[in-house]
A and B are shown apart, each in its own frame.
Chain A
Amino acid sequence: MKSILVSAVAALALSTVAVSAKDYPSKEIQGVIQWGAGGSTDTVMRSVTPHAEKTLGGTVVMQNMTGGVGAIALNFVTGKPADGYTLLMGAENPLLYKVMGLGRKDYSDFTPIDILARGTAILVARPGLPFDDYKGMIAYIKAHPGELRIGATGPGGLPSVVTAMMNNVEGKLNVISVPYDGDGPALTALQGGAIDVMPAVLGAAIESIKAGKMKPLAIFEKQPNHLLPKVPTITSFNEAYAKYLPWGPFFGVFVKKGTPSDVVAKLSAAYKAGAETADFNKLMDGRGYTVMNISGKAAQDFLTKWQSNTTWLLQDAGLTKTSPAKFGIAKPGK
């Protein structure tokens, strides 16, 4: 038995002598998806990766690893060697782990390969409510304090950020916040009348809006979205929102920090090509996502800015566990 062990160890030693881009990838790559099968991160990653594989000339085996708001997957990848054979396919959540007390690691322990796309937030309401836009909603909340039921998805989720924006701009709104475990179930509940208003990502609500099953109140962008050109922007109601925008959840592929730079470059080039394909762009556009396709310094800057804006926004709304200042996250510049 011992001899088997020894030879196996020897084989391992031989196989991991050097990681260099020349023969990368020399074996299959493991792609760890932070969220469950069928979710939006899953859909994005499973649709872009086959295209990226073609450029890369290797296989990426994708796995879903859920739990701990994505922290389980993140910690798993940080526990692997920084050789480019384990990719983290994730969304924006890790940037909030530290201030929310959900974990001690975030994307600062990673190198971005490609930030693929960004979503847009939209405020939707169930039909049958006596208001049709954002202004009407605010007036309704003032007239009926503590009656409007707004859906939520836990601290740090998109609804909590949008609600924090509203509280910062309009002053504390007296509403009932009903928690759901994702925007899908919450939007279902909205159609059944269990909640009245829901801040959601455009892609999740667009089909139901088109069908008239829910009504859009305002879109959280400075410019109207071409998919729903008639929906007013939030800044058209209140200019004060402009300082928070553009804001949206995003999807990106990451490797552990310390991965050789030529490997990172090769992966970035592959995912860049994948995100440029017509297939991927059509899919993203149809769901209301804005393709970003940035890597390197641009991606790093985007992450830094996103984290600084969002954590301080949540901090001002009193939703954080620890101040972003504790982790050296700079306050957004004026």
Chain B
Amino acid sequence: MEHLLAFFTIFTHPQLLLLVGLGTFAGVYVGAIPGLSVTMAVSILISFTFSWDVYPALALMVGIYMGGVYGGSRTAILLNIPGAPSAIATAMDGYPMAQRGEAGTAIGVTTTMSFFGGFIGILVLALAAPSVSAFALKFQPRDYMLLAVLGILLVGSLSQGSLTKGIFAGALGIAIGAVGRDPLTFAERFTFNMPLMESGISFIAVMIGMFGVSEALLQLHHVGQPAIKQKISRIVPSWSTIRKHLPLSLQTSTIGVIIGALPGTGGDIAALMAYDHAKRVTKKPTRPFGQGAIEGLVAPETANNAAVGGAFIPMMTLGIPGDAVTAIMIGALYIHGLNPGPMLMVEQPNMFWFIVGALVMANFFMLIFGLTGIRLFTKIVAMPRPVLIPLIMLLSIVGAYAVNNSITDVYWMLGFGIFGYLMRHYGYPLGPVILGVILSRLLDDNWRRAIISDRGDLGLFFRGIFTSPLSTVLFLAVVLIFVSQTPIWRWLKARILGQGKRSVEQ
């Protein structure tokens, strides 16, 4: 009963309600601008809300978080520039839809699906947080490593053109992620003895360069063409559309919650994995993937918003951050005199229920702000390209600088922008590069931890894999997905089923 009251705190205090709304609104725009990140916004809010009570401060942060994760999809759809890493997959089918003049539909689907995913995430947080966090803790270094390998296999579905070029791009991404001083041993890697290389290459800088600047350079080819007229009459998707994608969105939401709850992985990986999952299970997409398939929007958007609820699970139950944003929120709780940890749920269950309530509210606000104001957003995008292109470039520069207040990151961003432009021209996919950078540390660090833990003995390592059910499942998944992407599988399937040729071809 008391918990129920705590849950409803947010609804009965207009001031808190207002703050959540304000936060969500700001979050949508923070998320939409590449280079302004939720992490940044929340850490600034720590100083800003220093003298406030803890509830209003959290209300604002929760709102920004929820809105920000969603906001990244806006620019991904309208400009082909993901506003945040978790929207990379969204651009792949969202932008082709916008090119057909269907940006309104795309944004509508994205919003409702983000709402749905967010809701599933919150539901799991509210009902099953302790058991999910116990499950997340079970992941050993070798499991994280297998998860990273599983992620790297996504290269196959992210590179529509030449698979070899995709593999090259993915490997390049992993190498980029390794640049700088190794965080485990401080050994210098790929630094060429230059001090400016020591801090490594910020993956946000790579992302902004490859998607922002290279897109802007590409747009210069069409600078004279008028912007595409967008139909924004029918934004809210029909009930039948939603019902049709319900099974898929449930699956991808689950992926989102689990990946979000794992410490060390977040919405970006969740969204890419969900996209891959959708490609695998959808037999008949509305359109081929990569050309504006609705399923290509449903999957990443449900997953990245479900990951929000997921990220709160280890934070609230154990005091362990689920991602970068929850890490800062833990710091905020400390500053406000609370002690986040395993005892927080026991000693102050009200705090838990308040956050659940705030998340629910933020989710509703996201739906409202997502479905309104689209006209204004499309107007911004429809501004003359001669103005839009320089602005995108400038925003990319400021954004790259803002990540770590580093000029070096600006240089990297520009470099990767020009490089990405050439890669696009010659048919090298960019998605795998980002995927590689995101997964590089996860793979490298955990591979080394796993091997070191088993004293460098590969026999012990494999025995470990087959004695843990979790590792076995992950290992089998890796093997299955790998085999299914190689020609052996098609050959086998063709032999066994006799007619499988067409259905395997995606």
Contacts and interface: CB of A to CB of B under 8 A. Distances in A.
Direct contact of A and B (CB under 8 A): yes
A64 B43 contact: yes
A211 B343 contact: yes
Given A37-B327, A67-B198, A287-B334, A207 B184 contact: no
Nearest to B445: A181
A149 B140 CA distance: 13
B15 interface: no
A271 B235 CA distance: 54
A218 to B, nearest CB: 21
Contact of B328 (A38, A71, A181): A38
28 contacts: A37-B324, A37-B328, A38-B321, A38-B324, A43-B335, A66-B404, A67-B180, A68-B198, A69-B186, A154-B185, A156-B186, A178-B141, A180-B184, A180-B445, A181-B445, A188-B263, A192-B139, A207-B319, A207-B341, A208-B342, A210-B342, A210-B343, A211-B341, A282-B337, A283-B334, A283-B335, A286-B334, A287-B339
A154 B184 contact: yes
Given A184-B320, A207-B319, A49 B449 contact: no
B404 to A, nearest CB: 6
Given A46-B50, A282-B337, A208 B406 contact: no
Given A64-B404, A184-B327, 6 more contacts: A38-B329, A38-B330, A68-B198, A180-B449, A208-B342, A283-B335
B320 A188 contact: yes
A224 to B, nearest CB: 20
A211 B321 CA distance: 17
B479 interface: no
A155 B185 CA distance: 7
Interface in A96-143: 100, 102
A75 B334 CA distance: 30
A194 to B, nearest CB: 5
A211 B320 CA distance: 14
Contacts, number: 151
A67 B199 contact: yes
Contacts of A42: 43, 331
A249 to B, nearest CB: 17
Interface in B301-328: 314, 318-321, 324, 327-328
Interface string B188-232: 000000010011100000000000000000000000000000000
Contacts of A69: 181, 186
How many of chain B's residues touch chain A, expressed as a range? 35 or more
Interface of A: 32, 37-39, 42-43, 46-47, 49-50, 62-69, 71-72, 75, 100, 102, 146, 149, 154-156, 176-181, 184-185, 188-189, 191-195, 206-208, 210-211, 213, 279, 282-283, 286-287
Nearest to A157: B186
Q: Which 9 A-B pairs have the closest CB atoms?
A: A207-B341, A67-B199, A211-B342, A38-B327, A37-B43, A179-B184, A38-B328, A192-B137, A181-B183
Nearest to A60: B47
Contact of A210 (B51, B318, B341): B341
Interface in B50-87: 50-51
A49 to B, nearest CB: 7
Contacts of B385: none
A186 B342 CA distance: 16
Contacts of B422: none
A65 B405 contact: yes
B448 interface: yes
A146 B456 CA distance: 12
B197 to A, nearest CB: 10
A142 B138 CA distance: 28
Contacts of B453: 149, 176, 178, 194-195
B39 interface: yes
Nearest to A65: B405
B244 interface: no
Contacts of B331: 37-39, 42-43, 46
Interface in B341-360: 341-344, 346
A179 B334 contact: no
A193 B140 contact: yes
Given A69-B181, A181-B183, A213-B342, A47 B50 contact: yes
Contacts of A206: 339, 341
B46 interface: yes
Contact of B184 (A43, A63, A66, A181): A181
Nearest to B46: A46
B198 A72 contact: yes
Contact of B47 (A49, A181, A188): A49
B234 interface: no
A106 to B, nearest CB: 15
A181 B180 CA distance: 14
Contacts of B46: 37, 46
Nearest to B319: A207
Given A194-B141, A211-B341, A213-B318, A71 B198 contact: yes
Contacts of A188: 137, 263, 314, 318, 320
A138 B206 CA distance: 47
Given A102-B186, A181-B445, A185-B263, A207 B342 contact: yes
B229 to A, nearest CB: 40
Query: Most chain-B Cβ atoms within 10 A of its Cβ — which of A38, A50, A279?
Result: A38
Contacts of A75: 195
Given A155-B186, A179-B184, A192 B140 contact: yes
B140 to A, nearest CB: 5
B43 A38 contact: yes
Contacts of B264: 185
Contact of B405 (A46, A63, A179): A63
B452 interface: yes
Given A178-B453, A207-B319, A66 B199 contact: yes
Nearest to A190: B137
Contacts of A211: 341-343, 346
Contact of A207 (B47, B185, B339): B339
B455 interface: yes
B151 interface: no
A65 B319 CA distance: 24
A219 B220 CA distance: 63
Interface string B436-468: 000000000100110011010000000000000
Given A67-B198, A179-B452, A286 B339 contact: yes
Given A46-B50, A189-B141, A207 B199 contact: no
B420 interface: no
Contacts of A72: 198-199, 406
Contacts of A67: 180-181, 198-200, 404, 406
Nearest to B196: A72
A72 B201 CA distance: 13
A179 B199 contact: no
A212 to B, nearest CB: 8
A287 B263 CA distance: 22
